[in-house]
Homo-oligomer: A and B are copies of this chain.
Amino acid sequence: MKNGSQDGKQMNILLVEDDKTIAAGLEYSLQQDQFSTILCHDSASAKKVLEKEYQTLDLCLFDLSLPDGSGYELCKMVKQKKDIPVIFLTALDDEVNVVMGLDMGADDYITKPFRIRELISRIKSVLRRYHKYTQTNTVIDLNGIKIFTLEGKVFKNNEEIMLTALEYRLLLIFANHKGQVLSRNQLLEQIWDVAGDFVNDNTLTVYIKRLREKLEDHPQQPVIIKTVRGLGYKVGD
């Protein structure tokens, strides 16, 4: 539950909220969750912080209706400086403006009153998504098979190999666990989101075979996807 971090790096949140009670509560909760926070109570001081500290920030949390200026301005300013997610806190009556907020580049918004848990899960979701998009194209190499995760393409000797959706998913699971032995059940669960109760155990075997046919030079003497008898399958190393 407690991990305001992505890939181990602690996330730094700029929080701008004029109601001091709400602000304090929020700050406390965020810090409990291992986020680090910078708190401002008005638009003016927020701007100053933005000027100085924008490099260190990872996400902004703005009250939409601040006493000395709308949160829109702040949002615009942020997006000019650095491409990080912005979430708006809004009162119910502000709702009309939400679309406008999103046009401005906001990434999510949440209406007061809100449950703190909900907010935090939204924060995490936005951060996750963001990292996905900014992610550079990862290339995974498995014994000469190259996987381009961003485009979802797979190459062997510079020739693209066409995989079906499921074959690709299976391959990705192996790619993300290079060198580990994966049991049939582990694989079944990961592919079908369900324990092996619903899906035939043999189905997996068939997919392994199909993958091997497409990837291996000699499918009968597999080099890439190796079977570990009695335990499961293994890829790499």
Contact = CB atoms under 8 A, between A and B. Distances in A.
A108 to B, nearest CB: 7
A99 B151 contact: yes
Contact of A158 (B107, B136, B153, B168): B107
Give the oligomeric copy count.
2
B144 A129 contact: yes
Tell me which of A96, A106, A158 has the highest count of chain B C-beta atoms within 10 A of its own C-beta: A158
A147 to B, nearest CB: 11
Given A102-B155, A165-B220, A108 B148 contact: no
A221 B152 contact: yes
How many A residues are at the interface, by size bracket? Answer: 35 or more
A40 B105 CA distance: 47
A158 B103 contact: yes
Interface of A: 95-96, 98-99, 102-103, 105-109, 122, 125, 129, 133, 136-137, 139, 141, 144, 146, 148, 150-153, 155, 157-158, 165, 168-169, 218, 220-221
Please provide the 8 A-B residue pairs with the shortest distance between their CB atoms, ordered closest to farther.
Answer: A95-B137, A165-B221, A129-B144, A152-B218, A102-B158, A152-B221, A102-B155, A105-B158
